[in-house]
Amino acid sequence: LMGMLEAAPNSYSRDLARIDQPITVDGRLTEAVWKNATRIDDFYTFMPEAGQPAQERTAALLAYDEYNLYIAFIAFYDDPKKIRATMARRDNIDDDDIVAIFIDTFDGSQTAYQFSFNPYGIQSDGLYREFVGEDLKPDFLLYSKGRIFSKGFIVEARIPFSSISFPDKDVMNWRIALFRRTQYLNHDVTWPRLDNYSTEFIGQLGKLKNISGISTRRPVSVLPEATASQSGSLKNNAFSYDPFKSNFGLGLKYGLTSGINIYGTYRPDFSQVESDANLIDVNRRSPLYYREKRLFFLEGMDIFETPIEALYTRQIVDPLAGLKLSGNEGEYSIGLLSAVDSWQGTEDFLRSSGIRPGNTAYGRYAGKNSLSNTLRLRRNIFERSTVGLLLTDREFSDSFNRVGGVDGKLSFDENNVLSFQGLYTWSREIGDSTEISDPVYYLSYVHTSSLLGVQAIYKDYGKNVRLQNGFIDRSDLLSNGFRDGTAQIWHDFRSTNGWIQQYRPSAYASQIYDHDNVLLEESFYLGSYIVFNGKTTLDFGWFRGRELYDNTLFSKTNYTFRIWNNYFQWLIASFYYYGGDGIYYSSPSFLGRTDYNQVRITLKPTPVLSIYFSNKYYKFSGENGGIDFGLSQNIPRLKISWQFSRSWNLRLIAEHQALRFASPLLKAYEYDDLSLSVLFSYEPSPGTVFYLGYNDLQSRQDQFNNGMWPVTDYRRQRNVIFTKFSYLFRY
């Protein structure tokens, strides 16, 4: 092993060694061909302070053959007892020590593959997008094994070329970065040496040169899946079970070129194995946002992301079939997504749109499907900039929503970036013969340096803007359109010595006006962010602002505080608080007090057992006209995960949600919901899974005694037992 680690040349550009014998991935590095691998061991600190020689030694070995890229990390420790490692599920190793490789196979794109590993070789993979950050939603097929030894740990990995995209060239240069995070030091180190004040990450990567003779064969992936379930529900004060249900679906993936893939799905099972954690949804005016978790909408989706979220795939609720094309070809990136959705024709959706059974329009829409299409084109220009085109469309019976526009990022240098987007929307809404249209604009500028960070953002929405395939975070302000301007400034003090590693004071100001120049909101913020030695982070701030609601301009003062600690490997704890003045967002509106806090605790008593507890608590206090309008919502959640091995897992989730009102007049609207979920899973690789699970929801509503609730105990509202099996075939 030590013979492989002779000093490597100090350069940020290396020839990638080619080998003629395959390597067995076992974490031992016993093959003789490793001695001929490309060696890199000149790592530098990246966080908290960049550019210093790494405190503990790291070495990486890289090689390739016709079909695979091989990489090995050897991470040395002064005290190996401080290694942090758990037998975690895929993509759940953030709290462990990790090593990683970032690869930009197109040598100048805005996206890099990100493959991370903990000391056991557990994988966390995804994409890193310039100016956006990491996205761990995509999963790629790769093989890895880790081993802890007397001086540290070794990770060995094999990445098939069939799992990644690359240009059709005889000889390629790839950009890469190597990364190591050591939790007990709270340090990140990288090769090459990177500037953490730069707006760019991918643009700073080193290079692997002269890669040639690799297989461009694109395998066909076939993913058949079978699901079965039986559910029950409370109907007419009696609990009954529905007939047994089964579903057989099929997914396909084919590489049209080495850089572009096409995906298809028919009758997919889009039920989520793990339901969304409930969010505080009382006394709020803006919509809730839930992350996408469904496999078909995860891989190859980075091309569709723009500053204005014109594609938010959670809007495709119950798809019957889907088709997707995405990838890169030369300087161009392309994406196409089509989906047939049955949700819009359901009674639940039509009722939410004000169309009920018996309405003359109900028969025009009931049982029909919508069709959603999105087309995306993007081109790299100059050295580090892009321009793009985006078109989206949703057609449902006689209603439609069509959106089109352009966007771009202009990176003048590593410290200054200008981003822009303009869209025009044209719509006819359900049940309405009137056609409406309006534009929406976005403009931002970011400057970062060791002296100062500055960001300015401007957004302008016309009152008739509709993004039925997308998401508008302030859709509550659309009635007369709005213009939103924000400016932020900050400075970082960083050090590897002393008990404070990073201190960032910051300030921002924002104003929102409607298109009649009426002030809707304004705020000013002062805050600080501090990273201490001992894996402790603290941030706090003060807000002062005004907000127009129900024709009244309210003045508000608020405070925020957050602390997080991960000093012990077996314990992670955090607390967040936001409080101060708050508006009662119902009629009659008035100014009261808002208090919100969230506690999160993770216990890891053994490498295979994880116990996570969180509690979200919201309270509004205030009287108006002699009536107490106080209310509170509390959501505790417990998640226990037992990872028997890299593939086998047993998980239990219990969550309670309670709503309370201070006024006796509102007691009838109080409720308690208790949900339980048990899941046994086997996931040896992406796409190949077996699930056996049970979900249960029980409710209590003490005051609502109209015959539906004859007792005050919890009553089961619905339950389901389900199983799913899928297997990924690659030809």
Is 335 within the bounds of a domain? no
What is the domain-level CATH number for residue 45? 2.60.40.1190
Q: Are strands 688-700 and 715-726 parallel, antiparallel or unpaired?
A: antiparallel
262 CB burial (10 A radius; 0-12, 13-18, 19+): middle
Q: Which H or E run contains 249?
A: strand 245-255
Which residues, in sequence order, are bridge partners of residue 542?
A: 526, 559
Q: What is the DSSP letter of 349?
A: H
Q: Supply the pLDDT for residue 270.
A: 61
Tally of structural domains, the chain: 1
**Which among 321, 215, 305 has a CA at the least distance from the CA of 263?**
321
Is the distance from CB of 111 to CB of 302 less than 8 angstroms? Answer: yes
Q: Is the pLDDT of residue 363 over 80?
A: yes
Q: What is the pLDDT of residues 1-32, one digit of tens each?
A: 544 444 444 468 899 999 988 899 999 999 99
Please check the confidence at residue 726 and state whether its pLDDT lies above 60.
yes
Mean pLDDT, residues 369-381 taken together = 96
CA nearest 118: which of 153, 77, 76, 78? 153
| Confidence label for 705 from pLDDT (cuts 50, 70 and 90) | very low
Q: Which helix (H) or strand (E) holds 407?
A: strand 399-413
Question: What is the percent of the chain with per-residue pLDDT over 70, rounded to a whole number?
Answer: 95
Taking 70 as the threshold, does the pLDDT of residue 709 lie above it? Answer: no
Domain membership of residue 35 (yes or no) is yes
What 3 state SS string does 666-721 have? HHHHCEEEEEEEEEEEEEEECCEEEEEEEEEEEEECCCCCCCCCCCCCCEEEEEEE
- Range 205-232 average pLDDT: 90
Predicted confidence at residue 62, as pLDDT, reads 97
- For residue 348, what is the enclosing H or E element? helix 347-352
> Rounded to 5 degrees, what angle do the CA atoms 14, 158, 103 make?
45
If one compares 201 and 498, the residue with the highest pLDDT of the two is 201
In a 13 Å sphere around the CA of 54, the CA atoms on its Cβ side amount to 26
Q: Which one-letter DSSP state was computed for residue 16?
A: P
Average pLDDT over residues 231-257: 89
Whether residue 418 contacts residue 407, with contact meaning beta carbons closer than 8 Å, is answered with no
Identify the H or E element spanning 352: helix 347-352
Cα separation, 708 vs 717, in Å, equals 12
Query: Is the bond into 48 cis (omega within 30 degrees of 0)?
Result: yes
Cα–Cα distance, 446 to 199 (Å, whole number): 8
pLDDT band for 273, please (50, 70, 90 cuts): low
138 preceded by cis ω (within 30°)? no
- Using alpha carbons, select from 176, 158, 167 the residue that is nearest to residue 103: 176
pTM: 0.86
Is pLDDT of 140 > 50? yes
Residues 6+ apart with CB under 8 A from 69: 62, 63, 103, 158, 159, 161
Answer yes or no: is pLDDT of 707 > 70. Answer: no
Phi/psi of residue 198, each to 5°?
A: -75, 150
Q: For residue 167, say if its preceding peptide bond is cis, omega within 30 degrees of 0.
A: no
Helix (H/G/I), strand (E/B), else coil: 722: strand
Query: Does residue 439 sit within a domain?
Result: no
**pLDDT grade for 453, boundaries at 50, 70 and 90:** very high
Instruction: Fill in the DSSP letter of residue 410.
Output: E
- The answer to whether 112 and 128 are in contact (CB under 8 A) is yes
Q: How confident is the model at residue 529 (pLDDT cuts 50, 70, 90)?
A: very high
Our measurement of the distance from residue 707's CA atom to the centroid of its chain's CA atoms, rounded to an integer in Å, reads: 44
Rounded CA-CA distance 608/606 in Å is 5
> b/e string for 453-486 if b means 16 or more Cβ within 10 A?
bebbbebbbbebbbbbbbbbebeebbeebbbbbb
Q: What Cα–Cα distance (Å) separates residue 535 from each residue in 146, 199, 339?
A: 25, 25, 45
Predicted pLDDT at 104: 94
User: Is 7 part of any domain?
Assistant: yes
Q: What is the mean pLDDT of residues 382-387?
A: 87
Residue 47 host element (H or E): strand 44-47
* Cα–Cα distance measured from residue 504 to residue 48, given in angstroms and rounded to the nearest whole number: 12
Computed from CA positions of residues 640, 644, 646, 648, in that sequence, does the dihedral angle turn out positive or negative?
A: negative
Residue 331 has pLDDT above 90, yes or no: no
Contact between 545 and 553 under an 8 Å Cβ cutoff? The reply is: no
First-last CA distance in the chain: 36
Residue 264 in domain: no
Q: Which residues does residue 113 pair with via DSSP β-bridges, in sequence order?
A: 103, 127
292 pLDDT band, cuts 50/70/90, is confident
Return the pLDDT at 284.
Answer: 87
d(C-alpha 548, C-alpha 554), whole Å: 6
Q: CA 178 to CA 191: how far, in whole Å? A: 5
Mean pLDDT of the chain: 90
Q: How confident is the model at residue 708 (pLDDT cuts 50, 70, 90)?
A: very low
State the Cα–Cα distance between residues 281 and 406, nearest whole angstrom.
34
pLDDT of 75: 97
Residue 523 maps to a domain:
no
Among 11-15, 365-369, 525-529, 603-607, name the one with the lowest average pLDDT.
11-15
* Range(s) of the domain holding residue 77: 2-212
In this prediction, residue 629 carries a pLDDT of: 94
**Tokens matching residue 226:** 């079978």
For 159-210, the pLDDT digits (tens) are 999 888 888 888 999 999 999 999 998 899 999 999 888 888 888 999 999 9
How many helices and strands, by DSSP H and E, does the chain display? 2, 44
pLDDT at 711 (0 to 100): 46
For residues 426 and 405, give the distance between their C-alpha atoms in angstroms, rounded to a whole number: 12
Averaged pLDDT for residues 133-149 = 89
Strand partners, 654: 638, 676
Closest by alpha carbon to 565, among 540, 616, 530, 521? 530
| Residue 381: Cβ within 10 Å count | 13
Average pLDDT of span 651-664:
94
| 412 occurs within a structural domain | no
Count Cβ atoms below 10 Å from residue 392 Cβ, excluding itself. 24
pLDDT at 313: 93
One-letter amino acid at 695 equals N
| Bridge partner list, 527 | 506, 541
Name which of 603, 595, 602 is nearest 576 in CA terms: 595
Is residue 600 predicted with pLDDT exceeding 90?
yes
The burial class, CB within 10 Å (0-12 / 13-18 / 19+), for 718 is middle
pLDDT, tens digit, 9 for 90 and up, residues 579-588: 999 999 998 8
Give pLDDT tens digits for 66-99: 999 999 999 999 999 999 999 998 999 999 999 9
pLDDT of 34 above 50: yes
Return the DSSP state at 53: B
Per-residue pLDDT at 551 exceeds 60: yes
Cα(101)–Cα(62) distance, integer angstroms? 11
Measured CA to CA, the distance from residue 683 to residue 641 in angstroms comes to: 14
**Is residue 438 included in any domain, yes or no?**
no
109: pLDDT strictly greater than 90: no
